[in-house]
A and B are shown apart, each in its own frame.
Chain A
């Protein structure tokens, strides 16, 4: 696959859909039922963003009508404020090509890497990966939430071209085992790509004392952080690495100039 276009965007305010009283009431009930078995109370004043709105804006930015997409993968970790929506199915209607669409989640920061892997294994002509995270939870929680609502969309095409992608994922890596695995992975993925720019998440850098020279993704954006930088870098080779300390996934992907 080659990366042909990418877009990134931060979103402010709340989802437009929350301005609808009926919808707001339905969502409030949903989250109350969701949180109750876990002993969590809803917070007053529902806020946050919708992945349908965020991803919809990114699709419009990245996919022109002349480039129909065959596969759309939406990757997220923290859920959004429209919990019952089949957002990927909705996006299929918005996206040129009416692509096969689904969401990958429950995998922390590994989900976007799995998205890339799945797109590669489908072997379609054109695929879109949309990575999103929003910054609000509608119930009491001590969990860290992202600092901002952010999304990144990356359009990939099959075949040879100027940029190719490789993906490595290592499940169940203890923090103390990260440096050894990461060193090996970066060495293998960098081979043949002189001058590759390494982008690491703050969570990976935190458990890798002897990490190589790198660009540090912004802290507080656990799912979109490294992809935000990839979307910015349109020239040269880029290797992104992330580590999810809760779920213990160590992941890398390289987008390399050939």
Chain B
């Protein structure tokens, strides 16, 4: 069973109050106030001194459990929201692999599920490891990317992107944080080619997210009440408050404290929220928790994953 053996998260210390983003992003005072008062955003993390490769490396170098185990890593998978982040043929992922002594691993990026690509990377890692003849093999799942252009800094009317990174060692048979289920639903009809369907997307956002959450819980053989904690994507606070009303789940059991502290760190939110949950001792042995995210942009992907800690 796919398991998260170890995890490291890098969050830059440098933070910008959302008011400081008004000019660069062309936001009105009203839009900024909406982000703060309604969506619960406060500050956004950036690391202007680190390149995309350096961002990934910062996370991987914090993964003490990787040291001495490099030879077991067969796969390195970068789960990335933005499909194109550097000029061709620059390749930050392979640069990092060489620096970490992982040139022997099969390394690639999985993308085009927007911010849901991080959970997909975990799922893919599990599939590849299950199909590997070496029971001892590991996969390293990386997330992290730069908010380098307007499209990668602003989700209009919804959220502000931040920079951060994570590194996660995945095994096929580990005993910690075992993945019990994964559900993914894609809605390509919200691609821009089919016209402006923003209103329809907003109407369907929470019901669609609720559906994958309920299916993931059921596939894990559980009821929603069995979920100790939800680790959300940090899109904003109000989305989760309303979602909790919709599915009848106490919002107090959704870890939302990183929304004002971090901003929305693309695919890294789930891992950063896991770290916070551990730091605050919110998960006990045997607890079930759910990770959920929506990859929104051109098209939408709704994903949920249930783990046992």
Contact = CB atoms under 8 A, between A and B. Distances in A.
Interface stretch (A78-86, A151-159, A192-200): A78-86
A84 B82 contact: yes
B151 interface: yes
A29 B108 contact: no
B55 to A, nearest CB: 13
Given A35-B87, A102-B110, A117 B128 contact: yes
A114 B88 contact: no
A98 interface: yes
A143 B88 contact: yes
Interface stretch (A5-13, A89-97, A203-211): A89-97
Contact of B184 (A100, A106, A110): A100
Given A84-B297, A114-B108, A98 B103 contact: no
Contact of A89 (B105, B191, B194): B191
Contact of B84 (A84, A117, A118): A84
B83 A87 contact: yes
Contact of B127 (A34, A101, A107, A122): A122
B282 interface: no
A213 interface: no
Interface stretch (B111-119, B163-171, B206-214): B111-119
Contacts of B124: 118
Contact of B298 (A33, A78, A84): A84
Interface string A115-155: 00110111000000000000001010101000000000000
Give the contact-size bracket for chain A: 35 or more
A79 B88 contact: yes
A247 interface: yes
A121 B131 contact: yes
A90 B191 contact: yes
Contacts of A101: 112-113, 186, 188
A34 B52 CA distance: 11
Contacts of B82: 83-84
8 smallest beta-carbon distances between A and B, as pairs: A93-B188, A89-B299, A33-B149, A83-B84, A88-B112, A121-B131, A106-B109, A103-B112
Given A87-B83, A101-B112, 18 more contacts: A30-B151, A40-B87, A77-B88, A79-B88, A83-B84, A84-B152, A86-B112, A86-B297, A86-B298, A89-B191, A101-B113, A102-B113, A103-B110, A104-B110, A111-B108, A118-B124, A121-B130, A249-B106
